[in-house]
Amino acid sequence: MGRAHLTSVAGQPSVDLVRSLADAMRAGLRSGAVRRMIVPPRETAEDAAGTKFISMPAVSPDYDLYINKVATIIAPDPPGPGATVTSVVPAFSASSGRFLGVLDGTVVTNLKSAAVTALVTDCCAAKKSGVLGIIGSGVQARQQYLGVSAVRDIAEVRVFSRNAANAAAFARDITAMTTRADAAVSVTVCESAEQASRGVDILVTATTSSGPLPISSQLPSHVHVNCVGAHTVASRELAEDLLRTSVLIVEDRHTAVAEAGPLHSRAVELDTLDTPAAAGFDGQRTIFSSTGCAYLDLITCAFLASRPGREEDEAELEDAAQRLRIKVPADLEGGVLDGYRGLRDMTALLRRADAEAADEPGVGESGGSHA
Amino acid sequence: MLDAAIPRQTPTQLHELTVLQAGALLRAGELTSTELTADALARIERLDPALHAFIHVTAEQALRRAAQADRDLRSGIDRGPLHGIPYALKDIIDAEGVPTSNASWLSTGRVAGSDSAIEGRLRAGGGVLLGKLTTYEFAVGGPSFDLPFPPARNPWSDEHVPSGSSSGAGTAVAAGLVRVALASDTSGSIRGPAFHCGAVGLKPTYGRVSGRGAHALSVTLDHFGPLAWTAGDAAAALQVVAGADPAGSRCADVPVPDYLAAPARGVAGLRIAHSPGWYAHDPATAPEIVTSIERALRVLEGLGATVEQIDLPPYDLFNACGRIIFAAEAFSVHEEDLRRHPRSFGRYTYQRIMPGAGVLATDLLRAYQARRRLTRALDEAVFGTCDVLITACGQTTAARWADFGADWPPPRLASDMQTIPFNVSGHPAASVPTGFAGNGLPIGLQVVGRAFDEASVLRVAAALEVELGQRNRRPPVPEAGRTSCDPT
């Protein structure tokens, strides 16, 4: 079993995992669980050397989870790109206070970033988007490619980075991640941000730039931009005029305004994307101006904690099929496995509910009016 | 455009007559069943090539049965409220001598050797079978193009699906091809098409209508009932098909009340529970649906009902419970074909049923236990103090064809129905139209009753129909040859 359009390389999460988490995020937004979370503003302390000490807590009664992603960011010396980030995420039961474990902050952050990009891109980008421009070549750029690829059939990728060697390495990674024999992806390393962005359907900016990038003025009117790199209250990687004339999407408006500037006060939040109101974005330029928010970390932790690996699910379903002497046609394996994973989520939910319910005598299928 | 703005009180065309109106004319000798049937067949012949509501039309048989119904009436034999009235069956329900295709390559060529319990009652009740209606394959899957028959079209819009799985029933009733269809509802398959086609869909209490002779999908979730243009028509059909079936192991032996009298009883004195918690704050719910439910509640209060806000058990638990039971039971029904003929299923169907192979017995038993708890909790929360519950049925208007790709998975919108809790609990539930959204597509709400109290559900449905349902507004039925809703 196991159909995947992209293979996992160098510690990257798989595209199926990204899709599943995006669905989990969507479910959390739709159910109201996100609105019921307590998410205090993140706290950042900074010492004289420029090292940052960050705390990003979130509490959810629905997920019965309290997490706090804590991180250190050591600034490079001399100043420039390449800060050293170390993070962990301790998790507790919100109801009992019981310590549940610690997750690797890098894993959580990378998977979360890819999944939220998948979620937003799926809602905002044109259905037939085939050309992706990526400015940046670091870890975040890779997550962005993964997230976009999870929801759109990308035929052409244009990469630009100030560091040409990094850009070339990124391009090789994209090629390695792409295994679809029927839809090879063309990857080009561009000489400028302008070239990488000209005429693309989807644009990603994932850089440490402290000011607007010199992207093309010829962005199509339907372009969707995932702007996920550096920002200050005074600037983002995109020009203010572009931000002002596009539909802005943010994880959390308060956070976005506080960290990326008052221009974001008119932005829409993620839960709007799955509503009829989002239909009005069709054909409009949309920008996901991401600043991050701990509620997505919490959903990611809940997702990771509650799920066995895909391989385990595959093995379980395969065992069941073999036991029943059923051979699943190869082209249907992916859909069957997706359906099975959905059922796993349902059984996990019922198991939790069962544990909370008082024991009842008798087991039977009938209940209420069931004959 | 056909029929727009023709008041129901003064129908000018035969297909606009309700069951009760047509019945009165038949009994008065002012109309014959043969005329009524011939008119319906002509309408099907003219409109169905574009709507694909019917898989099989039983024209000759229908005319024979209509003639017999006329002879009976002339002889003073009145077989009941559907005597001489044309109806149709979802094509998973057997009628002797007629093919039951289940909309599947696996069943092509299969002709029913005997009547289902439903068809037996309708035949004995003097009804006139017009034919078999389009369904999603085996009442599951989705609107697929890899099946032996094309999917039914939503008469309200070329661009939108009619929902399913009783898609042909929703389409045929809304387009005026038939007044009443009998269909199945395992997680919302009557109520969904009724909601998205602007009709009344009634899922009776589990066991109220026998499913013997209908293709099983999930035996403890399968319900059978009418989809009709009006609450009165649904009541008439339910009156005929409800009741004990000694040969049906899952049919309840509970007395059948006078459903026909229910719509006229009004709602004065009814205690109505309302729980917006499942839908009102869910961003997936269209604001128009929330406001239409609020408006309906005000209307009912104005008619003398009392409304009480209550809290329901978590929706997600009902959903999880239903999905697990569905998966396991549906797999058990199709296990042999999944093993021997996997390529004979449509892609959607296969990918929906096969995951059930992995459901553990312990998880299925846990789901059955959860069902007991949830049903009890629902009874305590709602029916301890109230007579009916009003909640959302669909959360959005119909999904678009363009959202359905050739492969898995179907679009999320396809599952934005809040119907499965009452398949889990077995309570009677109806989709009742409340009007139209800004995009011109129908919207409605769901009325839920105590076990075996379909009458109260029909009372509310009838009251809302008079005040809100706009039963005189029919869809602009497409003519044959239009193919603009082909999603390819």
For chain A, the structural domain boundaries read 124-293
Between A218 and B96, whose confidence is greater? B96
Is B90 among the catalytic positions?
A: yes
Distance CA B21, CA B14 (A): 10
**DSSP annotation of B141:** S
At B434 the pLDDT is: 96
8 Å CB contact between B229 and B18: yes
Residue type for position B439: N
Note whether B368 contacts A363, CB cutoff 8 Å: yes
Q: Which of B252, B323, B338 sits opposite A371 (nearest CB)?
A: B252
Q: Is the pLDDT of residue B25 over 70?
A: yes
pLDDT digits (tens, 9 = 90+) for B473-485: 999 865 544 433 3
At A81 the pLDDT is: 61
Q: ipTM of the predicted structure?
A: 0.88
At A182 the pLDDT is: 42
Give the gap in angstroms from C-alpha B387 to the nearest C-alpha of chain A.
16
At A359 the pLDDT is: 47
CATH superfamily for B33-467 is Amidase signature (AS) domain (3.90.1300.10)
Distance CA A25, CA B283 (A): 13
At A208 the pLDDT is: 83
8 Å CB contact between A270 and A247: no
Note whether A347 contacts B366, CB cutoff 8 Å: yes
pLDDT band at B412 (very low <50, low <70, confident <90, very high): very low
What is the 3 state secondary structure string of B272-329? Answer: EEECHHHCCCCCCCCHHHHHHHHHHHHHHHHCCCEEEECCCCCHHHHHHHHHHHHHHH
Mean pLDDT of chain B: 92
Percent of chain B with pLDDT over 90: 85
Note whether B283 contacts A346, CB cutoff 8 Å: no
Q: Which of B283, B316, B347 sits opposite A332 (nearest CB)?
A: B347
CA-wise closest residue to A59 among A98, A106, A107, A95: A95
On chain A, the residues whose CB falls within 8 A of the CB of B249 are: 371
Interface-testing mutation among B250, B336, B340, B363, with chain A (most A C-beta atoms within 10 A): B363
Among B33, B116, B189, B431, which one carries the catalytic annotation? B189
Residue A145 vs residues A18, A198, A290: alpha-carbon distances, Å? 11, 18, 15
A vs B, Cβ pairs < 8 A, gives 169
Give the gap in angstroms from C-alpha A263 to the nearest C-alpha of chain B.
24
Note whether B251 contacts A328, CB cutoff 8 Å: no
Note whether B366 contacts A335, CB cutoff 8 Å: no
For residues B161-175, average pLDDT: 96
Between B438 and B401, whose confidence is greater? B438
Interface-testing mutation among A275, A346, A354, with chain B (most B C-beta atoms within 10 A): A346
8 Å CB contact between B31 and B18: no
Is there a cis peptide before residue B114, judged by omega within 30 degrees of 0? Answer: no
At B3 the pLDDT is: 34
pLDDT digits (tens, 9 = 90+) for B126-142: 999 999 999 999 999 77
At A260 the pLDDT is: 82
DSSP, residue by residue, B223-281: EEEEEESSHHHHHHHHHHHBS--TT-TT--------GGGGGGG-STT-EEEE-GGGTTT
At A309 the pLDDT is: 59
Is B132 among the catalytic positions?
A: no
Lowest mean pLDDT among A11-20, B267-276, B370-379, B445-454: A11-20
Residue type for position A354: D
Give the gap in angstroms from C-alpha B286 to the nearest C-alpha of chain A.
6
For residues B195-205, average pLDDT: 98
pLDDT digits (tens, 9 = 90+) for B223-244: 999 999 999 999 999 999 999 9
Find the residue in A nearest to B288 (Cα).
A276
At A190 the pLDDT is: 93
CA-wise closest residue to A369 among B465, B334, B475, B448: B448
pLDDT band at B377 (very low <50, low <70, confident <90, very high): very high
pLDDT digits (tens, 9 = 90+) for B267-280: 999 999 999 999 99
Among B33, B107, B163, B165, which one carries the catalytic annotation? B165
Is B166 among the catalytic positions?
A: no
Note whether B323 contacts A343, CB cutoff 8 Å: yes
The whole-model pTM stands at 0.68
Distance of CA B481 to the CA centre of its chain: 27
Kindly list the averaged pLDDT for each block of 10 residues, start to end, along chain A of length 371: 32 72 89 90 89 94 92 79 82 86 86 94 89 91 90 91 88 71 75 92 88 86 89 79 89 88 87 76 86 93 73 78 85 85 88 71 44 39
Distance CA B88, CA B168 (A): 10
CATH number of the domain at A124-293, please?
3.40.50.720
Helix (H, G, I), strand (E, B) or coil at B55: strand
CA-wise closest residue to B388 among B458, B290, B335: B458
